[in-house]
């Protein structure tokens, strides 16, 4: 519904709607017009005073639409007071214009409009009706706005689920790459007789990793400790593959363990740090994952001591997907930054709002 945000489209739709309403109102009124009654001038069988009546409402509708964002920011008492003031102004203005435009069309009062009602009596009657009309119009606009926002949230939720599924598939694709499985299975084979406990441990880690990717239905957000546990399974396998060359540092304070993070947000970043960063270091490869709470924000960093890269280098699919997911989920309340220098390693910084998992949501996840 983005096209509805254009003012030109709004003007056309609103005036078109009230023009149609004026036409049908004039048809309805003509059923009760006595034969020989003085006809009113108009266009396409619609009296001008009907058009004036409903075009005033069209202008009022556009004004409400365009100032609605500012009114919604007001406190509830000021919100109500503003609409009461606008309701009185619009109702009075409409009543005055409607009466005297009809009076002018009837050859300046040669035929008295509205059954000969005096201006005062007409205005009192019409203002009451117009107030009801105004608040009905405001209610309809706000209800439509609520419906539109609900639809946008539904579309956003579907998009986030699709991105989560894509992240799961991407994570699974990484683990199922032929060279990855070949290296893991080859390493397991070499430990079967010499160190059977280590081989069993690697098989268990690989099983946990694949089970998480394939079978566990992840919510869009999960506790950080669960996300780190998933990454730990991946790193444990990589540690065995790299023998003593891979050193992993985890700094996750207990107070942030229950913080909600996008599911599978760290795995592609860590995988990228190993494949394109620390994994290329022929000596000790270091990966550091840190989390901290700063001013009600969760700060996450993934660092490596790889060769780094020059500014302007293109991002891989995993990094790009992670950045886009944060933008969609948190909009302007997130940060995603990459600091890298040739020969000095790379650090990926993530900043998201600090939120804890509710007990109800936690129980739902455990039941799954």
Number of domains in the chain: 2
Residue 204 lies in a domain: no
> Which of 110, 127, 153 is a domain's end point?
153
Task: Give residue 271's pLDDT.
Answer: 83
- Mean predicted confidence (pLDDT) in 357-367: 55
Residue 174 lies in a domain: no
Residues 124 and 237 placed together within one structural domain of the fold: no
CATH code, domain carrying 339: 3.30.565.10
Give residues with Cβ within 8 angstroms of 161, minimum separation 6: 220
Residues 14 and 133 placed together within one structural domain of the fold: yes
Task: Give residue 358's pLDDT.
Answer: 66
Range of the domain at 35: 2-153
Residues 16 and 108 placed together within one structural domain of the fold: yes
Residues 350 and 244 placed together within one structural domain of the fold: yes
> Which of 153, 169, 195 is a domain's end point?
153
Residues 133 and 235 placed together within one structural domain of the fold: no
> Which of 105, 122, 153 is a domain's end point?
153
pLDDT in tens, 133-186: 888 888 888 888 888 888 888 888 887 777 776 676 566 555 545 555 676 788
pLDDT in tens, 293-305: 999 999 999 999 8
Residues 48 and 126 placed together within one structural domain of the fold: yes
Residue 211 lies in a domain: no
pLDDT in tens, 232-275: 888 888 887 777 788 999 999 999 999 999 888 898 899 888 88
Residue 351 lies in a domain: yes
Give residues with Cβ within 8 angstroms of 278, minimum separation 6: 246, 285, 286, 287, 304, 305, 306, 345
Residue 165 lies in a domain: no
Residues 18 and 117 placed together within one structural domain of the fold: yes
Residue 43 lies in a domain: yes
Chain CA centroid to CA 352, Å: 15
Tokens of 267: 């795995």
Task: Give residue 267's pLDDT.
Answer: 82
- Which H or E run includes 124? helix 119-175
Return the higher-pLDDT residue of 5 and 76: 76
Q: Answer whether residue 223 shows pLDDT above 80.
A: yes
Task: Give residue 290's pLDDT.
Answer: 97
Task: Give residue 190's pLDDT.
Answer: 82
């Amino acid at each position: 519904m983005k096209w509805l945000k254009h003012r030109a489209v709004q003007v056309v739709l609103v005036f078109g709607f009230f023009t149609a309403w004026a036409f049908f109102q004039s048809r309805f009124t003509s059923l009760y017009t006595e034969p020989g009654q003085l006809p009113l001038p108009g266009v396409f069988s619609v009296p001008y005073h009907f058009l004036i009546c409903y075009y005033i409402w069209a202008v009022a509708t556009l004004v409400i639409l365009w100032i609605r964002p500012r009114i919604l920011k007001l406190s509830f008492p000021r919100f109500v007071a503003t609409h009461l003031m606008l309701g009185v102004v619009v109702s009075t203005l409409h009543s005055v214009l409607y009466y005297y435009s009809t009076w002018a069309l009837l050859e300046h009062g040669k035929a008295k409009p509205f059954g000969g009602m005096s201006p005062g009596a007409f205005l009192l009657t019409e203002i009451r009706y117009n107030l009801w009309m105004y608040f009905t119009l405001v209610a309809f606009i706000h209800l439509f706005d609520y419906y539109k926002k609900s639809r946008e949230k539904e579309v956003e939720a579907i998009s986030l689920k699709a991105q989560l599924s894509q992240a799961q598939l991407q994570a699974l694709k990484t683990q199922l790459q032929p060279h990855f499985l070949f290296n893991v299975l080859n390493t397991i084979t070499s430990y079967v007789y010499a160190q059977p406990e280590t081989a069993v441990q690697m098989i268990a880690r690989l099983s946990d990793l694949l089970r998480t990717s394939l079978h566990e239905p992840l919510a869009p957000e999960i506790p950080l400790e669960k996300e780190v546990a998933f990454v730990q399974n991946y790193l444990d396998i990589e540690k065995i593959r790299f023998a003593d060359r891979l050193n992993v540092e985890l700094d996750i304070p207990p107070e942030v363990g229950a913080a909600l993070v996008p599911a599978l947000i760290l795995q592609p970043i860590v995988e990228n740090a190993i494949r394109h960063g620390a994994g290329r270091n022929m000596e000790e490869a270091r990966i550091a994952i840190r989390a901290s709470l700063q001013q009600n924000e969760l700060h996450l960093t993934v660092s490596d001591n790889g060769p780094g890269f020059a500014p302007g280098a293109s991002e891989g699919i995993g990094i790009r997907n992670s950045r886009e997911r944060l933008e969609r989920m948190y909009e302007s309340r997130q940060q995603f930054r990459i600091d890298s220098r040739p020969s000095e390693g790379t650090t990926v910084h993530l900043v998201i709002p600090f939120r804890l998992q509710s007990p109800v949501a936690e129980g739902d996840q455990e039941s799954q």
